[in-house]
Amino acid sequence: MSDQNDGKLNRLLAGLTDTGVVSSRWLRAHGYYSSLLARYVASGWLVSPARGVYMRKGGSLQWEGVVRTLQQAEGLSLHVGGRFALAWLGHEHYLRLGEAAVITLYGPERMPGWVCKLPLVERVDYCGKGPFDLPVIPLIDETTDQALLNQGLERREAVPSGVLVCSTPERAMLELCAEASDAAGVYEVDALMQGMATLRPQRLEMLLRHCHSIKAKRLFLALAERHGHAWFSHLSVNGLNLGLGKRSLVPGGRLHPKYQIVLPGDLDEQLG
């Protein structure tokens, strides 16, 4: 290879972690054309785990590296949220025991098609924008921690891939409430709520006021009040839009008199 191409290869490899991937789109934008990539692959520097994406030869394909690539190199506002963000915080013992891990990503932009073609142990699910009307911000390293917290987001270390942006526990719980659509979903949220003793009421108030899902807000408040955590007494919901009329998540359930949402009648038995 020419010295120029050697330099380009060195820059590319220096920017790739052992778990990172890089897309053909990014490579083309930075002057790495198909013929050059074919040479890198033939020479044993790169491998292609799926069409349209490359990684270091000998690297270890991991979900953390993939999400890091989406947030940083691809510049997509996709964060780890909902169910998997809570599991990552250490609550996985509540979440669908025995199932393979599912990485739940939220944001206004869909994932590139190559993500679902990667031979990952975990499945990656795009869950949509989520239940909030907050403005979209970039999830790159240059965005401040405070700007992320203003969205209910935070950085979390994912060794050896680097730092990823994910939902705070408060945002992840509301995202999970928005996903709940049956009795099993309510049981899951209720079991998790039991352990949420350290949620921050000020952050919750902000998120609740920016949440456009009436169901998510009513379910969250009904289950939070049920478990009687200390932070709930400091949560102000005056003026919060909770909609009109009843909401039902389960047929033949029990209507919560305050929040007008029908919940399973056997919540106490399910919690054990």
3-state helix, strand, coil in the chain (%, to 5): 45, 15, 40
Across 85-115, b (16+ Cβ under 10 Å) vs e yields: bbbbbebeebbeeeeebbbbbbbeeebbebb
Does 224 have pLDDT greater than 80? Answer: yes
Domain total for the chain? 3
Same domain, residue pair 185 and 240: yes
Asked if pLDDT for residue 146 goes beyond 60, the answer is: yes
| pLDDT, mean of residues 200-208 | 97
Last residue of a domain, one of 169, 192, 227: 169
pTM of the model: 0.92
Q: Which residues contact 31 (CB under 8 A, 6 or more apart)?
A: 8
- Among 125, 143, 169, give the residue marking a domain's end: 169
Do 245 and 184 fall within a single domain?
A: yes
> 38 with 120, same domain?
no
132 and 83 fall within a common domain? yes
Tell whether the model's pLDDT for residue 165 goes beyond 60.
Answer: yes
Instruction: Specify the pLDDT at position 93.
Output: 55
Q: Same domain for 71 and 162?
A: yes
Q: Name the residue range of residue 246's domain.
A: 171-269
pLDDT classification of 7: cutoffs 50, 70, 90: confident
**pLDDT over 80 (residue 268):** no
Mean per-residue pLDDT for 229-237? 94
pLDDT at 272: 44
DSSP reduced 3-state for 232: helix
Q: Calculate mean pLDDT across residues 49-57.
A: 94
Mean pLDDT across 66-83: 96
Based on the domain organization, do 133 and 208 belong to the same domain? Answer: no
Q: Could you tell me the CA-to-CA distances from 271 to 57, 86, 187 in Å, in that order? A: 48, 18, 8
Decide which of 169, 191, 208 is a domain's last residue: 169
* Signed CA dihedral, 131, 134, 137, 140: sign only: negative
The angle at the Cα of 82, spanning 52 to 247, to the nearest 5 degrees, equals 125
Q: What is the percent of the chain where pLDDT is above 90?
A: 76
- Percent of the chain at pLDDT exceeding 70: 93
HEC string of 105-170 equals: EECCCCCCHHHHHCCCCCEEEECCCCCECCCCCCCCCCCCHHHHHCCCEEEEEECCCEEEEEECHH
Residue 30 is predicted with a pLDDT of 92
- pLDDT at 204 > cutoff 90: yes
224 and 264 both lie in a single domain: yes
CA-nearest of 150, 158, 156, 154 to 167 is 154
Residue closest to 83 by CA, chosen among 166, 161, 163: 166
Looking at the fold, whether 26 and 37 belong to one and the same domain comes out as yes
- Indicate the pairing of strand 79-80 with strand 247-248: unpaired
- Which single residue is written with the structure tokens 């405070």? 146
Is it the case that residue 49 has pLDDT exceeding 90?
yes
Domain identity same for 104 and 119 = yes
Average pLDDT, integer, range 206-227:
96
Residue with tokens 């999830």: 139
